[in-house]
Amino acid sequence: MAANFPTHEQVQGGIGVTEPGHAHDAHHDEHHEQSFLQKYVFSTDHKVIAKQFLITGIFWAIIGGTLSSLFRLQLGWPESTMEWLTPFLGKWIEAGKLNPEFYLALVTMHGTIMVFFVLTAGLSGTFSNFLIPLQIGARDMASGFMNMLSYWFFFLSSVVMFSSLFIETGPAAAGWTIYPPLSALPQAISGSGAGQTLWLVSMALFIISQLLGGVNYITTVINLRTQGMSMSKLPLTIWSFFLTAILGLLSFPVLFSAALLLIFDRSFGTSFFLSDIYIAGQALSNTGGSPILFQHLFWFLGHPEVYIVIMPAMGMVSEILATNARKPIFGYRAMIGSLLGISLLSFIVWAHHMFVTGMNPFLGSVFMFLTLIIAVPSAVKVFNWLATLWRGNIRFTTAMLFSIGFVSLFIAGGLTGIILGNAALDIQLHNTYFVVAHFHLVMGSSAFFGLWAGVYHWFPKMFGRMMDEKLGYIHFWLTFIGVYLVFLPMHYVGIAGFPRRYYAWTGFDTFSQFADLNKFISVAAIVAFFGQFIFIFNFFYSIFRGRRATENPWNSTTLEWTTPVELGHGNWPGEIPAVHRWPYDYSKPGAAEDFIPQNVPYSQTQSSNLPYEKEME
Amino acid sequence: MDSYESLSTKQPATGIHPARFLLMLMMVSIFMIFAAYTSAYIVRRNEGNWLEFNLPAGFLYTTVVLLLSSATVQWAWLAARKNDLKQVRLALLLTLGLGLAFLVGQYLLWGQLVDQRIFFAGTDANPSGSFLYVLTGVHGFHLITGLIFLLIVVRKSFNYQVHSRQMLSIGNVTIYWHFLGALWLYLYLFLLLNH
């Protein structure tokens, strides 16, 4: 692979710095039509790969949402019969009741699918791929081939994970955090048999996919920016994708290490995480292992992972808020600084997931201290988003609604993070529905809102057509209200002491007064889930029948909107535009229009130039 | 492959070729795997129930072999800069041989460990031994990827594709091989100090 670079360099020796491959592309069009397979399936074009990630992500989101509806049925109506689900769930319905072990499998797979397959691969995979080359002014990723491999490893991983849903012993059931010993011993729960094996294989493939994608994103941002695109002129989207990829590069290998050790424990008889276990009256031979060790390794990935999920959403929301408020983003450098701060802190707070593992209280307070510091960069971001909206000339596009919704959810969920970050409070709230409500708001729903905002906003560039706004509004309000109706009561239930991952609470008298509230949450969750089909219809309908988009429908400043509506491989038909200014010149006093694209030189905007910009004319 | 061939005409912002930059990032992620294992090793050791045993002396020999191979790969790189293709081939083949010798040595040492009753798995195994097998095994796996990379470059050198104006692939394999050597040196010293 590597050797192709220099040979080609010699062939094309004379091409200038700012127009990579222009001559080559023209040559390409003349002589060589791409087959369907090359163009849509095994494509090396970052835009096609992005769409592949997006559509696979949508598929997974439907599965993940369906699973959650199933367990919400169980939680809302624990006494009623589930016989009617037998055609769908088969033997997992026993005498009209959901099998309790299968309930755990549903929870596990819902978490795994949503965190990894939808909000990591579906979110970063889609938008990093789509936007990095377009917004920095590159023709494609540094290595299109590795980028293609990244998708196909994800696809393989998806196939393995999907097939695990249908095997006889059921999919993995030890929670998305797969703590041993439960996940290590097939005799402990049927899901820890073949289902857990497939889970581990699938995740190993997934990690390879993430690393192949991530190294590409980083290299592309570092190396392939167009002329004038300094790091301090990058859109915040790119900063967030860049830092997300760095987090993935540093944390996913650690999950790989942990998974490998778990595989050895499960299948080869080692005892890294197992020690002195009696199961069904029988002592196991494993000695010397430490289950806490797994938690350390897992959360060293697991915590950065939640930022891998949320940071791309933050970047896109910053971009969309500025565009639709027709104002420069407030505190551009503070936004970058806070992203850097969050990235750094994400690696040194992991043990706040483990306050109740019996760790040294002093260590606990160190992790508590570091955890609470995260509130600072997070608050900087929230302040800047609100200040961007303040007195803006707001255009309520669907993407804008979802971005504002993101800010709302991020605040609502972030506040409870301050509570949970306290070691003393966490001892009471650990593993209750309070935690579930917290992370579903701050990272689950928020990241989903970022994902939707991104899809609505960049759909015209992806497919050359617009999504329907009215359907978008209905989708937004259903989802926004739905999410709050689901997760606000859940805090209350959590404070009351409801432990998560329980099949039913009918055995506890104290909890009986909350039965109606649980029913309410279930209704809200299922209605909100069905609301998503409005989006799915809108998405697929608009691909084929949507109103035709113009080149720059949102009057935005970034480079992707300088490309033609019908995008070919290579992105710009002619030269790649050079960049002269930062990406947020909205409503600049004295300017002819309320936005000035990044590729407009100062010499063309003399009426609006600031004193120091006059020197650059 | 069109896409990145066309990118080769682009002057990279860092002055580092994208392919080399990709390689360096990969090395970072490989290092993170070992950072995880060695810190897990320390955490686990401090929890007690840790079988102490002597590291077989043979690891010193395999270490020396691997360090020698680092020298030969550097020799190949220098020779390529001087367009001395004969020396390039010789040095690369030597590196390949030494790399294989290292792997064989590590394998024999596994046998020696078993003779010492230090097992990877099973009822008599202790995590201290299992960790040793994992560290050497995962490093060995990456060394195999290095050998494959070397083979590719050897083939190129026989096709006259390695010379002073085409230093990318031999440069990359040199960097990767040094990395694998340094990684092993780190693991060896780590094991010496912490076994």
Query: What pLDDT, in 10s, does the model give residues A9-62?
Result: 333 333 333 334 343 443 444 445 677 777 788 899 999 999 999 999 999 999
Domain spans, chain B? 18-42+58-194
CATH 3.40.50.300: does it fit domain B18-42+58-194? no
Which one, of A229, A279, A222, lies nearest residue A245 by Cα?
A222
Q: What is the pLDDT of residue A41?
A: 85
Residue B36 and residue A297: Cβ atoms within 8 Å? yes
Amino acid A554 reads W
Q: What is the pLDDT of residue B194?
A: 85
SS3 state of residue A94: strand
Q: Which of A527-533's residues contact partners 24+ apart within 8 Å by CB, and which partners?
A: A527/A478, A527/A482, A528/A478, A528/A479, A528/A482, A528/A483, A528/A485, A528/A486, A529/A65, A529/A66, A529/A68, A529/A69, A531/A474, A531/A475, A531/A478, A531/A479, A531/A482, A532/A61, A532/A62, A532/A65, A532/A475, A532/A479
Q: Does A282 touch chain B (CB under 8 A)?
A: no
Cβ neighbours of residue A593 closer than 8 Å, sequence gap 6 or more: A555
Q: What is the pLDDT of residue B115?
A: 93
**Mutant choice from A39, A48, A215 vs B, greatest count of B C-beta within 10 A:** A215
Cα of B91 to nearest chain A Cα, Å: 20
Which of chain A's residues have a Cβ under 8 Å away from the Cβ of B45? none
Q: What is the pLDDT of residue A566?
A: 85
- To which H or E segment does residue B112 belong? helix B85-115
Q: Which two tokens stand for residue A92?
A: 């997992």
Considering only CB atoms, A223 lies closest to which of B1, B21, B138, namely B21
Which of chain B's residues have a Cβ under 8 Å away from the Cβ of A8? 5-6, 8-9
Q: Does A150 touch chain B (CB under 8 A)?
A: no
Q: Does A394 touch chain B (CB under 8 A)?
A: no
Residue B29 and residue A249: Cβ atoms within 8 Å? yes
Which of chain A's residues have a Cβ under 8 Å away from the Cβ of B35? 254
Considering only CB atoms, A272 lies closest to which of B6, B130, B138, namely B130
Cα of B63 to nearest chain A Cα, Å: 24
Which of chain B's residues have a Cβ under 8 Å away from the Cβ of A304? none
pTM above 0.90, yes or no: yes
Portion 202-221 of A in contact with B at CB < 8 A: 211, 214-216, 218-220
Evaluate whether A25 touches A545 at the Cβ level (below 8 Å). no
Q: What is the pLDDT of residue A175?
A: 94
* B4 has a pLDDT exceeding 50: no
CA dist., res. A143 & res. A18, Å (int) = 18
Q: Does A224 touch chain B (CB under 8 A)?
A: yes
Considering only CB atoms, B7 lies closest to which of A7, A20, A45, namely A20
Considering only CB atoms, A261 lies closest to which of B47, B134, B165, namely B134
With a cut of 50, list the residues of chain A below it in pLDDT. Answer: 1-31
Portion 45-74 of A in contact with B at CB < 8 A: 45
Portion 244-263 of A in contact with B at CB < 8 A: 249-254, 256-258, 260-261
Which of chain A's residues have a Cβ under 8 Å away from the Cβ of B156? 3
Q: What are the structural domains of chain A?
A: 46-274+286-562 (1.20.210.10)
Which of chain B's residues have a Cβ under 8 Å away from the Cβ of A230? none
Considering only CB atoms, A4 lies closest to which of B1, B33, B51, namely B1
* B51 has a pLDDT exceeding 70: yes
Which of chain B's residues have a Cβ under 8 Å away from the Cβ of A17? 10-11
CA dist., res. A139 & res. A133, Å (int) = 6
CA dist., res. A168 & res. A191, Å (int) = 10
């992707």: which residue's tokens? A560
Q: What is the pLDDT of residue B125?
A: 86
CA dist., res. A165 & res. A110, Å (int) = 11
Q: What is the pLDDT of residue A507?
A: 86
- What is the pLDDT averaged over residues B142-148? 97
SS3 state of residue B83: coil
Residue A287 and residue B172: Cβ atoms within 8 Å? no
Q: Which of A25-30's residues contact partners 24+ apart within 8 Å by CB, and which partners?
A: A25/A139, A25/A569, A25/A570, A25/B6, A28/A569, A28/B2
Residue A145 and residue B4: Cβ atoms within 8 Å? yes
Give CA separation, A405 vs A257, A390, A517, A554, B155, in Å.
37, 15, 24, 19, 57
Q: What is the pLDDT of residue A545?
A: 94
Q: b/e string for A494-530 if b means 16 or more Cβ within 10 A?
A: beebbebebbbbeeeeebeebbebbeebbebbbebbe
Cβ neighbours of residue A106 closer than 8 Å, sequence gap 6 or more: A67, A68, A70, A71
Query: What pLDDT, in 10s, does the model give residues A177-186?
Result: 999 999 999 8
Residue A28 and residue B2: Cβ atoms within 8 Å? yes
Query: What pLDDT, in 10s, does the model give residues B91-140?
Result: 999 999 999 999 999 999 999 999 999 999 888 888 999 999 999 999 99
